[in-house]
A and B are shown apart, each in its own frame.
Chain A
Amino acid sequence: MTALIVVSLTLVALAGTTVVAADAPERQAVTLSFFGLTLTALFLVFQAPDVALSQVAVGAAVVPLMVLLAIRTMRADRAKHKGEHRGRGGEGRSWRGPAALTALPGGRRPQDEDGT
Chain B
Amino acid sequence: MSRRARFLVFVAGAGCVAAMLALAFFRMPAFGGTAHLYRDLAVPAAVAHRTANVVSSVNFDQRGLDTFGEESILLASVIGAAVLLRPAREETERTPSEAGRTLESTKLAGYLLLPVTLIVGFDVVVHGHVTPGGGFQGGVVLATGLHLLYVAGSYRTLDKMRPMGLYDSGEALGAWAFGALGLAGIAAAGAFLANIIPGGSFGQLLSAGTVPVLNIAVGLEVACGTVVLLANFLQQDIVVTAGRRREEQGE
Contact = CB atoms under 8 A, between A and B. Distances in A.
Partners in one complex: yes
Interface of A: 48-50, 52-54, 57-58, 61-62, 65-66, 69-70, 72-73, 76-77, 80, 84, 92-94, 96-97
Interface of A is mostly: helix
Given A50-B55, A77-B242, A93-B84, A84 B249 contact: yes
A94 B88 CA distance: 8
Interface stretch (B21-29, B97-105, B136-144): B136-144
A49 B137 CA distance: 11
- B interface bracket (residues with beta carbon within 8 Å of A): 20 to 34
Nearest to B133: A53
Contacts of B85: 73, 97
A89 to B, nearest CB: 13
A96 B84 contact: yes
A84 B81 CA distance: 26
B53 A50 contact: yes
B159 interface: no
A97 B229 contact: no
B249 A62 contact: no
B233 interface: yes
Interface string B56-99: 10000000000000000000000001001100101000000000
B182 interface: no
B154 interface: no
Contacts of A57: 137, 140-141, 144
Contacts of B237: 69, 72-73, 76
Interface in B105-163: 124, 132-134, 136-137, 140-141, 143-144
A53 B144 CA distance: 13
Given A73-B236, A97-B85, A65 B230 contact: yes
B234 interface: yes
A53 B124 contact: yes
B211 to A, nearest CB: 13
A50 B134 contact: yes
A66 B53 contact: no
A49 B136 contact: no
- Going nearest first, the 10 A-B pairs with the smallest beta carbon separation are A49-B132, A97-B84, A57-B140, A69-B233, A53-B137, A80-B242, A50-B55, A93-B88, A50-B132, A61-B144
A66 B136 CA distance: 18
Given A50-B53, A57-B137, A73 B132 contact: no
Nearest to A51: B55
Contacts of B134: 50
Nearest to B136: A54
A66 B55 contact: no
Nearest to B134: A50
Contact of A70 (B141, B144, B233): B233
15 contacts: A49-B132, A50-B55, A53-B132, A53-B137, A54-B140, A57-B144, A62-B144, A66-B229, A66-B230, A69-B234, A69-B237, A76-B237, A93-B84, A97-B81, A97-B85
Nearest to A49: B132
A21 B56 CA distance: 37
A108 to B, nearest CB: 13
Interface string B221-241: 000001001100110110000
Given A62-B230, A92-B88, A76 B242 contact: yes
